[in-house]
Structure 1
């Protein structure tokens, strides 16, 4: 973590060399997602609810998943841009250093301008919490933190899988954005509004449903039966990260330099 902190400090100093550009990009990252949220607001203004979910309940779901994505995009930008390391042969340099490749790739790129997006999602989350009128307690607050943290783990896992494919394809695959950008857009709503096959896929394969929909039922007192199981379901995000790291290790062991 000390090494990772030094990476962040170096990257922050480099990005602050052009401060006007940095602040304008941060401001843009804060403003642009509001167009998505405005679409959500006007849809509920017109229809009132979606399958029993009101605006502020969906806004809470929106805030959680967008906040998780913003944090993951900050941390995992190195994996998102990993194909450039493969194409240019720069991954060879990482392999001869006496530190793990995961830490080095994480530290190779960090988008501080994404804090604008993080601030926007945080403001939506706080607004939704203040207007819901839910019966909050300590365990519900912990569950909400689990939802955000494990949402970060899921997005990070997808970024790592995308990067791992580069060991075989060299170039990154744009189709993988279906599970990052597409997953974010899908998971900003409770997943029970979709077809059953979609709900099952994003619960048992990529467990977005375990970090937004099912724990949300517990927070809003819509559960049936014991509530403890809904509180621990977000941990599926951490479990999803494990096979992603194993795929990464498998790819590193079979890496062949491009010879650039």
Structure 2
């Protein structure tokens, strides 16, 4: 963790060398999800509710997912741009260093400008929490925290999976956007508003349902049966990163240098 902190500090200093550019990019990142949230607001202004969900309940879901995405995109940007390391042969240098390749790829790039996106989603989340009709308890507060952590792990896991594919494809595949950007847009709404096959895919394959739907039912007091299962459901999202790391290890062992 000390080495990881040094990576963070070095890259932060390098990005702050052009402070005006940094703050302008952060400002732009603040307004990108804001426009999406404005669309969400006007949608509910017109229709009132969607499948029994009101605006503030969906806003809570929106804030959780976008906050998780902002954190994962900031810290996991090295995996998102990993294809460049493979194509240029720079990954070979990482292999001869006495540290984990996961740590080194994580430390190769951070997007601190995503602080704008993180700030916007935090504001939406705090606003939704203050307006939603919920009797907050310690268990519900911790569940909300676990939702954010679990969502971060899922997005990070997807970045790792897409980076692993580069060991065979060399270049990154645009299909990854279906599961990152597409998954974010999909998961900003409770999953039960979609068709069953979509809900099942984003619950049992990519477990967004364990982040934005099942624990949300517990917070809103809509659970059926044992509520502990809903409280612990975000752990499935955290566990998602484990097979992703195992697949990464499999890919590293079969990596062949590009010869650059």
Query: Which category of TM-score, normalised to the shorter sequence, fits these structures?
Result: over 0.9
Q: Does 1:70 align with 2:70?
A: yes
Deviation at 1:224, TM superposition (A): 1.2
Structure 1 segment 247-258 matched on structure 2, within 5 A? 247-258=247-258
Structure 2 match to 1:182: 182
- C-alpha distance in structure 2 between counterparts of 1:56 and 1:164, whole Å: 38
TM-score by length of 2: 0.99
CA distance in 2, matches of 1:32, 1:205: 28
- 1:238: how far off? 1.6
Distance in 2 separating the partners of 1:202 and 1:133: 27
- Aligned residue for 1:85? 85
Counterpart-to-counterpart distance in 1, 2:49 and 2:15:
43
Matches within 5 A, 1:1-260: 1-260=1-260
What is the rounded CA distance, in whole Å, between the counterparts of 1:15 and 1:176 in structure 2? 26
Report the 3-state secondary structure (helix = DSSP H, G, I; strand = E; otherwise coil) of the residue aligned with 2:180: helix
| SS of the residue 1:18 aligns to | helix
Look up the SS of the partner of 1:109 in the other structure: coil
Matched residue SS, 1:173: coil
Deviation at 1:133, TM superposition (A): 2.2
User: Which runs of at least 4 in structure 1 moved beyond 6 Å after TM superposition?
Assistant: none
Output the CA distance in 2 between the equivalents of 1:10 and 1:144: 32
Alpha-carbon RMSD? 0.5
1:238 and 1:63 map into 2 onto residues whose CA distance is 19
Deviation digits for residues 17-64 of structure 1 (CA, Å, limit 9, x no counterpart): 001000000111111211000000000000000000000000000000
Q: Write out per-residue CA displacement over residues 81-106 of structure 1, whole angstroms, 9 at most, x where no aligned residue.
A: 00000000000000000000000000
So what's the TM-score if we normalise by structure 1? 0.99
User: For structure 1, which runs of at least 5 residues remain unmatched after alignment?
Assistant: none
